[in-house]
A and B are shown apart, each in its own frame.
Chain A
Amino acid sequence: DAMVIQNPRYQVTQFGKPVTLSCSQTLNHNVMYWYQQKSSQAPKLLFHYYDKDFNNEADTPDNFQSRRPNTSFCFLDIRSPGLGDAAMYLCATSRTNLGLAGAYNEQFFGPGTRLTVL
């Protein structure tokens, strides 16, 4: 089945130690998103890639960066994790269909990576 895969599912890191989370997809979608979600809150969009174009949210800290080496893979790099960065990180994908009526472009989510910062 086509899907969005996130690895690892659980990640423990130390305060200030860089960490990378990965996302891959078999849906061949051209848009990939990274969200941060804290307990009982709505997901907060960090950034997204439209094809190779990177789109950062204005309030995303510089500590968070992303790479998309190809259509299938996207990485979230946290350069110096702080205690406040402990959260669930969700990857999502969607496909844009310019000019097609009824193109919902809904987002498909991976299972998430739970990050713990010690």
Chain B
Amino acid sequence: AQTVTQSQPEMSVQEAETVTLSCTYDTSESDYYLFWYKQPPSRQMILVIRQEAYKQQNATENRFSVNFQKAAKSFSLKISDSQLGDAAMYFCAYRSDAGNNRKLIWGLGTSLAVNP
């Protein structure tokens, strides 16, 4: 069974600085998708960034980028130029591409505080 591990329950960063959230996963599959979701204090979960396992190029969305290391099974999220609005719980999630799998495997989350 696949697992997702976020080893940092809490992180903090100064406004305008860069922070990296770690995520590792365990799988025997070769085809899968990885996601970072953000859940601000208002609690609506939104997708931050996604990565297909077969793509070597790291995904980037504005100030958010990932470092995807397939061999190491690592999928870290880098937030550049941190803003107060980035304060949230961040969840890393895995989805198998096997068959018609429709479920996400979630990490426990990392709570990010942004200090002014």
Contacts and interface: CB of A to CB of B under 8 A. Distances in A.
B45 A42 contact: no
A98 B108 contact: no
A112 B50 CA distance: 22
A76 B107 CA distance: 24
B108 A48 contact: no
Interface stretch (A20-28, A64-72, A77-85, A101-109): A101-109
Interface residues of B, number: 22
A106 B50 contact: yes
Interface in A45-81: 45, 48, 50, 55
A90 B108 CA distance: 16
Contacts of A110: 44
A48 B107 CA distance: 19
A88 to B, nearest CB: 6
Interface of B: 33, 35, 42-47, 50, 52, 89, 91, 95, 100, 102-104, 106-109, 111
Interface of A: 31, 40-43, 45, 48, 50, 55, 88, 90, 92, 94, 96, 98, 102, 104-112, 114
